[in-house]
Amino acid sequence: MSDSPPLSHLEEDGGSRMVNVGAKPITFRTAEAEAIVRYPVEAFHKVLAGEIPKGGIVEPARVAGILAAKRTAELIPMCHGLSLDWVQIIIEPLPNHEPGLSVRCTASLEGRTGVEMEAMMGATMAALTLYDMTKALDKRIQIEKVRLLKKTGGKSGTWKAQ
C-alpha cells in the first residue's frame, strides 16, 4: 500500500474528472519551468552567429511560449482555464559552453489553482519553436529535460527542484 495521496483527477472507479477548486482560497501563485534545446556543435555555432535559414529565432519562440502558456487548458484536458497575470520567457545559452539553449518560462497569477502546467507548456512550446526555426541546420537537435524548477503559493507552499 502506498503512502502517497490519491490523485485528485481520478474518481474512485478510475474515471477522470476536473477538480473542483471553487472552495479553495485565492492566493498568489508562481511557477517556473525549463526546457533544454541541445544542438550539435556546428549547428550551435550557426545559431549563435545568427546564420539561420528562417531568420531570428528568439522572438518567435518567446511569443509562442507566451501564447502556449495562455492556452494550456485547451490542450491538457483537466487543466483549469486560468487568467494569467504574467508570463515571461527567457532564452539563453547553456552554461559552460555547452551547445544548447535554456528556455525558462515563469507564470504567475492570483487564483485558486497553480500555474505549473502553464509554465511547463510555455517552456515546451518555446523549445519546439526553436527546434522548428533551426531544424534545417541539423536533424539531431534535441529537446530534453522539460521540468518544473519552482512553484509558490497554494496549500503546499513553495517547492524548488534539487
User: For residues 68 and 84, is the Cβ–Cβ distance under 8 A?
Assistant: no
| Catalytic site includes residue 13 | no
pLDDT along the chain (162 residues), means of 10: 59 65 84 98 92 86 98 91 95 94 97 92 98 94 97 93 92
Nine-digit cell at 30? Answer: 508562481
Q: What is the pLDDT of residue 8?
A: 62
User: How many other β-carbons are positioned within 10 Å of the β-carbon of residue 105?
Assistant: 31
The domain segmentation of the chain, as residue ranges, is 27-152
Report residue 125 as a C-alpha cell.
512550446
Q: Tens digits of per-residue pLDDT, 27-70?
A: 999 999 999 999 999 999 999 988 887 778 999 999 999 999 99
CATH assignment of 27-152? Answer: 3.30.70.640
Helices (H) and strands (E) counted in the chain, each on its own, are: 4, 5
* pLDDT on residue 50: 87
CA separation, residue 120 to residues 9, 25, 142 (Å): 19, 23, 17
**97: its cell numbers:** 559552453
79: which 3 cell numbers?
487543466
Residue in 3, 13, 85, 132 annotated catalytic: 132
Alpha helices in 39-147 (DSSP H): 41-49, 58-70, 72-75, 116-134
